[in-house]
Amino acid sequence: MTLESTTVLDGPGTARPAVHRRYLMCRPTYFAVEYAINPWMDPGAPVDPALAVRQWETLRRTYLDLGHTVEEIEPLPGLPDMVFAANGATVIDGSALAVQFRDPERADEAPAYAGWLDRAGFEVYDAKHVNEGEGDILPVGDLLLAGTGFRTSHAAHAHLQEVFGRPVITLQLVDPRFYHLDTALCVLDDATVAYLPEAFSPGSQATLRRLFPDAVLATAADAEVLGLNAVSDGRHVVLPAQATGLSAALRDRGYDTIGVDLSELRKAGGGPKCCTLVLREREASK
Ligand code: ARG
């Protein structure tokens, strides 16, 4: 059993099947680095907002060219991090668990995303604890990998399991540069992940080795350009163009990699995955 239907976008004979995805994105109209809530953010350093929009448009166009569906939520002034749609919710099987941000600067994003999901027909569950959505919660096969240590609280993991009825694997993040799970680990398909071992506690590293003995192990150089903040449809992996080592490792394993340059958004600590919320609809057969 898998989380999504395996609609193959490519013809027969291709190496790996791609899954059709529906994504939610938020144009970075009001993007800026006005506060610092992670080590990447320096409010004193220059940001080129027009370039940020162009880079984001390239990411959006990349998804459309791959055959995916992209929905957009209206950006709100005064919420410069709203572009990071992955933090807007966790959406599985037609249900959405709303978020509760750790930092007050991002608090008003939560009702905006919950409202959009409600209007789009998803069943929305309220957050009960600090929980930053798909930034820290990554479905892989029937499991939910859940990060904690910086943002999403451990208590949220138990709530997550109640809402979605899927086993939750708690992973302890230990490096403040990799403060969300999606900066330290990327889900490649229903059974495979790529991750930076040293971003996790020893017990979490052992857990990842047990669950994913064939995982792609990233290097510090890959992670330091947010290379693991990548979006895979099972075949195509959209990742930061600067992550050349990881890209080569993924190609060796039969994935098609597509590099995108999100240098401006990286100044806020975000990459392609942060800009992308996966909308997983209820499976027709269930
Ligand atoms: N500046 C944002 C924050 O620190 C970046 C969020 C990145 N999102 C993600 N899914 N990793 O909250």
Q: Could you tell me the domains of the chain?
A: 7-278 (3.75.10.10)
pLDDT per position as a tens digit, 124-172:
999 999 999 999 999 999 999 999 999 999 999 999 999 999 999 999 9
Distance from the alpha carbon of residue 274 to the mean position of ligand 1, in angstroms: 6
Around ligand 1, the residues with Cβ closer than 6 Å are: 37-38, 41, 81, 84, 86-87, 106, 135, 180, 182-183, 268-270, 274
Question: What pTM was computed for the model?
Answer: 0.94
- Note the pLDDT of residue 284: 66
ipTM of the prediction: 0.97
- Whether 173 and 197 have beta carbons less than 8 Å apart is answered as no
Q: Which of 37, 40, 84 to mutate to test the pocket of ligand 1 (most atoms within 8 A of CB)?
A: 84
For residue 113, how far is the Cα from the chain centroid? 15
- Note the pLDDT of residue 6: 47
Catalytic residue among 180, 186, 236, 275: 180
Low-confidence ranges of the chain (pLDDT < 50): 1-8, 11-12, 286
Distance from the alpha carbon of residue 12 to the mean position of ligand 1, in angstroms: 38
Q: Is 157 a catalytic residue?
A: no
- Specify the residue with its C-alpha closest to ligand 1, atom 7: 270
- Whether 53 and 220 have beta carbons less than 8 Å apart is answered as no
Q: CB neighbours (10 Å) of residue 123?
A: 14
**Ligand 1: which atom is nearest the Cα of residue 86?**
10
Distance from the alpha carbon of residue 133 to the mean position of ligand 1, in angstroms: 10
- Note the pLDDT of residue 3: 46
Q: Is 274 a catalytic residue?
A: yes
- Note the pLDDT of residue 190: 96
